[in-house]
């Protein structure tokens, strides 16, 4: 099978210079030559065969495994930060990356260095080749981008070595390549409609696929779910003979107050109450992510029966970052980026903009990928956003700007939609529109609709001239 060209996903870190940048680019290019993430293979055996040849590095450390539709990366990063505050050497795998591939494999709070990325890739390459050869001989596609990346991450964490790994699925759960690992704790963020062409057309079907990460006797921690999703999780827990703790009954957010740079939250955990914790992220959904993270760490460190040390927890949450999630990248006017790429995420974004910011008007710079519910995203943002500047990210899968504009016009009308195919021009137009907002409060800009668009804008903001 000819591999499908991988979607553009940024470059290795350039700032380190020298041979390892060249080597990291080689790793990046060799991964991109494989079947891309937009075409995952619903299988586990090839990944399992590769890790078996490597001596099962995914068994060298305990695993906290996360799935869900929205909030996975933020929750994963919070869990990792809390564990690190407890003195554990952590591994963290998230996806996709925003700018650099190294972001996906984090060791002790830092993206893996180009040097270690290249060394581990070269170590596993002969084993990947063996699996590729066997697959192609049997008429199956070679290891995909994400399958090979997962094997690489497991090897990097064993090499570190990590005391514990926080592992975010790529898509779904049951047949996601990360599922060759056995999570002692399985974590579910809110489950909603997304990737219906791969995971199922209903929330129940999607939840059933995601519930595949639940392993025997695992502790399962879940955000609040719709009834149809919760039924699937309960069924999986019953079959696994594990335990289930759900937000709203077993734990939850007691209160949240807007603060400079984020919010102050009080969380009722599984084993204790934690007052006045600084959370440097905006939005009630991030407070809920924090509650899930706390319950997951309680489950991992003390079986859900021992409270966490308040000072250590406070340090861990205060240090947690969530790039690309209501992240401020410029001022005057304020420009935020948010990776909301489905209606559920867009509704959370709109609520956070209303609750946590005082803008006289909000201008959205919008690009959406072709397999997403663009009309649903616009509809969710419409009550909060005054103007939409429609553009296109560098992704091959981005909806054509004119086509996306027609969708937006169908939802909000032509007077609220502007088309700028060039991203830099779109940002300039959005800033001008925000500056024209009249009233006591200034206008703001939010860049959203796809992770690739957010990554493009973050990359622009990191250039010497920034977004000026």
Instruction: Estimate the crossing angle of helix 374-381 against helix 401-412, to 10 degrees.
Output: 50
pLDDT at 14: 38
pLDDT at 401: 97
| 390-468-363 Cα angle (round to 5) | 30
Per the structure block, which two tokens stand in for 251?
A: 């734990």
408 and 306: one domain?
A: no
416 and 362: one domain?
A: yes
Distance of alpha carbon 384 from alpha carbon 363, whole angstroms: 9
Per the structure block, which two tokens stand in for 202?
A: 């209903």
Half-sphere exposure of 115 (CA within 13 A, CB side): 4
Q: Is 136 within a domain?
A: no
| 208-184-97 Cα angle (round to 5) | 70
pLDDT at 4: 41
Pick from 39, 102, 20: nearest CA to 323: 102
Residue with tokens 């997951």: 296
Last residue of a domain, one of 318, 352, 368: 318
Q: Is 129 within a domain?
A: no
Could you tell me if residue 466 is left (phi over 0), alpha (psi between -120 and 50 degrees) or otherwise beta? left
Q: Is 88 within a domain?
A: yes
Last residue of a domain, one of 266, 298, 318: 318
Q: Is 123 within a domain?
A: no
pLDDT at 22: 73
201 in Cβ contact with 207 (< 8 Å): no
369 in Cβ contact with 452 (< 8 Å): yes
286 and 341: one domain?
A: no
Cis peptide upstream of residue 29 (ω within 30 degrees of 0)? no
| Number of domains making up the chain | 2
Distance of alpha carbon 233 from alpha carbon 236, whole angstroms: 5
pLDDT at 468: 67
Pick from 137, 157, 198, 136: nearest CA to 56: 157
171 and 227: one domain?
A: yes
Distance of alpha carbon 240 from alpha carbon 346, whole angstroms: 34
What is the β-pairing status of strands 361-366 and 273-279? Answer: unpaired
Based on C-alpha coordinates, what's the Rg of the chain? 22
Q: Is 48 within a domain?
A: no
pLDDT at 464: 86
216 and 340: one domain?
A: no
Distance of alpha carbon 290 from alpha carbon 15, whole angstroms: 32
Distance of alpha carbon 43 from alpha carbon 95, whole angstroms: 19
Q: Is 9 within a domain?
A: no
198 and 299: one domain?
A: yes
Pick from 226, 89, 225, 67: nearest CA to 156: 89
414 and 275: one domain?
A: no
For every residue of the chain, which 3-state class applies, written as one string? CCCCCCCCCCCCCCCCCCHHHHHHHHHHHHHHCCCCCCCCCCCCHHHHHHHHHCCCHHHCCCEEEEECCCCHHHHHHHHHHHHHHCCCCEEEECCCCCCCHHHHEEECCEECCHHHHHHHHHHHHHHHHHHHHHHHHCCCCCCCHHHHHHHHHHHHHHHCCCCEEEEECCCCCCCCHHHHCCCCEEEECCCCCCCHHHHCCCHHHHHHHHHHHCCCCCEEEECCCCHHHHHHHHHHHHHHCCEEEEECCCEEEEEEEEECCEEEEEEECCCCEEEEEEECCCCHHHHHHHHHHHHHHHHHHHCCCCCCCHHHHHHHHHCCCCCCCCEEEECCCEEEECCCCCHHHHHHHHHHHHHHCCCCEEEEEECCECCCCHHHHHHHHCCCCCEEEECCCCCCCECCHHHHHHHHHHHHCHHHEEECCCHHHHHHHHHHHHHCCCCCCCEEEEEECCHHHHHHHHHHHCCCCCCC
What is the β-pairing status of strands 387-390 and 63-67? Answer: unpaired
Q: Which domain holds residue 389?
A: 327-461
What is the length of the chain?
Answer: 468
185 in Cβ contact with 64 (< 8 Å): yes
398 and 349: one domain?
A: yes
339 and 443: one domain?
A: yes
pLDDT at 290: 98
363 and 288: one domain?
A: no
The tens place of each residue's pLDDT in the chain, 468 residues long, gives 333 444 444 444 333 334 456 788 899 999 999 988 777 889 999 999 999 999 999 999 999 999 999 999 999 999 999 999 999 999 999 999 999 999 999 999 999 999 999 999 999 999 999 999 999 999 999 999 999 999 999 999 999 999 999 999 999 899 999 999 999 999 999 998 776 666 777 999 999 999 999 999 999 999 999 999 999 999 999 999 999 999 999 999 999 999 989 999 999 999 999 999 999 999 999 999 999 999 999 999 999 999 999 999 999 999 999 999 999 999 999 999 999 999 999 999 999 999 999 999 999 999 999 989 999 999 999 999 999 999 999 988 999 999 999 999 999 999 999 999 999 999 999 999 999 998 889 999 999 999 999 999 999 999 988 886
Q: Is 221 within a domain?
A: yes
pLDDT at 31: 94
Distance of alpha carbon 46 from alpha carbon 60, whole angstroms: 20
86 and 222: one domain?
A: yes
Last residue of a domain, one of 318, 345, 378: 318
Instruction: Tell me the CATH number at 69.
Output: 3.40.1190.10
Instruction: Tell me the CATH number at 376.
Output: 3.90.190.20
0.95 surpassed by pTM: no
Q: Is 25 within a domain?
A: no
pLDDT at 17: 37
Q: What are phi and psi of 33, to 5 degrees?
A: -70, -10
334 and 240: one domain?
A: no
What is the β-pairing status of strands 63-67 and 90-93? Answer: unpaired
């Amino acid at each position: 099978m000819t591999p499908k060209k991988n979607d553009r996903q940024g470059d290795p870190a350039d700032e380190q210079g020298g041979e390892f940048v060249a080597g990291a680019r080689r790793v990046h290019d060799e991964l991109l030559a494989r079947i891309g993430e937009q075409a995952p293979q619903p299988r586990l055996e090839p990944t399992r065969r590769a890790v078996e040849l490597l001596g099962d590095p995914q068994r060298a450390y305990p695993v906290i495994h996360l799935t869900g539709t929205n909030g996975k990366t933020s929750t994963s990063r919070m869990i990792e930060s809390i564990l690190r505050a407890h003195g554990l050497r952590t591994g963290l795998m998230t996806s996709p990356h925003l700018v650099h591939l190294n972001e996906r494999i984090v060791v002790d709070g830092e993206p893996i260095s180009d040097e270690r990325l290249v060394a581990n890739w070269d170590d596993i390459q002969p084993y990947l080749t063996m699996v590729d050869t066997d697959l192609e001989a049997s008429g199956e596609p070679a290891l995909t981008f994400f399958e090979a990346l997962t094997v690489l991450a497991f090897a990097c964490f064993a090499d570190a070595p990590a005391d514990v790994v926080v592992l975010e699925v790529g898509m779904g759960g049951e047949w996601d390549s990360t599922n060759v690992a056995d999570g002692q704790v399985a974590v579910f963020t809110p489950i909603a409609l997304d990737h219906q062409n791969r995971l199922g057309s209903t929330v129940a079907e999607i939840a059933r696929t995601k519930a595949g990460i639940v392993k025997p006797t695992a502790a399962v921690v879940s955000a609040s779910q719709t009834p149809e999703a919760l039924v699937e999780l309960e069924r999986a827990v019953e079959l696994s003979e594990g335990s289930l703790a759900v937000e709203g009954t077993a734990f939850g957010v007691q209160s949240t107050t807007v603060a400079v740079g984020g919010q102050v939250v009080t969380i009722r955990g599984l084993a204790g109450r934690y007052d006045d914790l600084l959370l440097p992220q905006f939005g009630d959904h991030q407070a809920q992510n924090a509650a899930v993270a706390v319950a997951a760490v309680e489950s991992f460190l003390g079986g859900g029966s021992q409270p966490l040390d308040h000072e250590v927890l406070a340090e861990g949450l205060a240090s947690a970052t969530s790039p690309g999630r209501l992240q401020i990248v410029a001022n005057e006017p304020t420009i935020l980026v948010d990776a909301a790429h489905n209606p559920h995420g867009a509704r959370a974004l709109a609520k956070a903009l209303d609750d946590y910011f005082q803008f006289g008007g909000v201008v959205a710079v919008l690009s959406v990928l072709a397999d997403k519910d663009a009309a649903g995203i616009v509809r969710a943002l419409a009550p909060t956003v005054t103007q939409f500047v429609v553009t296109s990210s560098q992704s091959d899968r981005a909806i054509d700007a004119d086509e996306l504009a027609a969708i937006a016009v169908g939802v909000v009308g032509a007077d609220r939609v502007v088309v700028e195919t060039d991203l830099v021009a779109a940002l300039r137009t959005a800033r001008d529109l925000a500056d024209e907002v009249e009233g006591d409060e200034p206008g703001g800009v939010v860049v959203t609709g796809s992770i690739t668009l957010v990554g493009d804008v973050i990359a622009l903001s990191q250039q010497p001239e920034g977004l000026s």
